[in-house]
Amino acid sequence: MFDLSQKVAVITGAGSGIGAAIAVLFARQGARVVALDLNESAEATAAAIAAAGGDATARRCDVAKPDDVAGTFRGVAAEFGRLDILVNNAGIAHVGTIEQTTADDLDRLYAVNVRGVFLCAQAAVGIMVPQGHGVILNMASIASLVGVPERFAYAMTKGAVHTMTMSIAIDYVKRGLRCNCICPARIQTPFVDGYLRKHYPDREDEMRRVLDAYQPIGRMGTPEEVAALALYLCSDEAAFVTGQAYPIDGGVLVS
């Protein structure tokens, strides 16, 4: 089950955290992984995959820039002749209410979290439709399903990801494409570590316990747990699943 042998999978934001975990797991399941990130961090992910015997290449790509995205996906199509899976994982965060959010903050998040998903999905669809199959998986958030305090701009962008997912799914269901999104609660990633170091330098352990307690299960999730759900949704075992938003939230939505 969950065999991705020889499938070509592009994963954005693959340099760390959830994206890196997805890239590693997909390669372990046989995929030919193309790891994308804004900087050279994707190269470390590809190197780790290669060291474990997997198949991966790394490419620098700013998902907010149309020329970067178009060139990257043209290169993938030219090199591999196909694209089976796109995981739109690249994203940035912002903490604040509407009063604490500037227009520049909003534009910055929109550029990556919304336009980036749009550009990559559009490029992927252009490859997938002629071949008659493909899977797009977007990374949304529970903030696209329920209110989360002090996440105004972030929730706005993830709400857009959620609705883009449904739109792509319904527009292309008759043409062999599937599109779903994952909606995580708090996940223990390098971003969380950096946030705690920056804002609570003398209270990191205390505030980490607060973040853990937000999930009724008593802890944050791990990137590997999100990757496992991503593997299911991108595999042939999920061939009957499209247009869905899958929470992975430690019980937040039922508390």
195 and 101 within one domain = no
136 and 54 within one domain = yes
Q: Is residue 74 included in any domain, yes or no?
A: yes
Report, as an integer, the average pLDDT of 105-111.
98
CA distance 54 to 40: 19
Give, for 207, the enclosing helix (H) or strand (E): helix 204-214
Q: What are the C-alpha distances in Å from 139 to residues 60, 208, 221?
A: 20, 23, 15
Q: Is residue 27 included in any domain, yes or no?
A: yes
The answer to whether residue 232 is catalytic is no
- Are the C-beta atoms of 224 and 23 separated by less than 8 Å? no
* Number of Cβ atoms within 10 Å of the Cβ of 185: 23
235 and 206 within one domain = no
Residue 51 has what pLDDT? 98
Residue 1 has what pLDDT? 93
pLDDT digit string, tens, across residues 9-30: 999 999 999 999 999 999 999 9
154 and 132 within one domain = yes
Q: Which class for 206: exposed (0-12), middle (13-18), buried (19 or more C-beta within 10 A)?
A: exposed
Q: Is residue 76 included in any domain, yes or no?
A: yes
pLDDT digit string, tens, across residues 57-90: 999 999 999 999 999 999 999 999 999 999 999 9
pLDDT digit string, tens, across residues 131-165: 999 999 999 999 999 999 999 999 999 999 999 99
Percent helix, strand and coil across the chain, each to the nearest 5: 55, 15, 30
DSSP state of 115: I
209 and 162 within one domain = no
16 and 116 within one domain = yes
84 and 106 within one domain = yes
pLDDT digit string, tens, across residues 162-218: 999 999 999 999 999 999 999 999 999 988 888 888 888 889 999 999 999 999 999
Q: What is the domain range of residue 202? A: 189-220
pLDDT digit string, tens, across residues 26-59: 999 999 999 999 999 999 999 999 999 999 999 9
Catalytic residue among 110, 154, 195, 214: 154
The gap from C-alpha 122 to its chain's centroid, in whole angstroms, comes to 16
Q: What percent of the chain shows pLDDT beyond 90?
A: 94
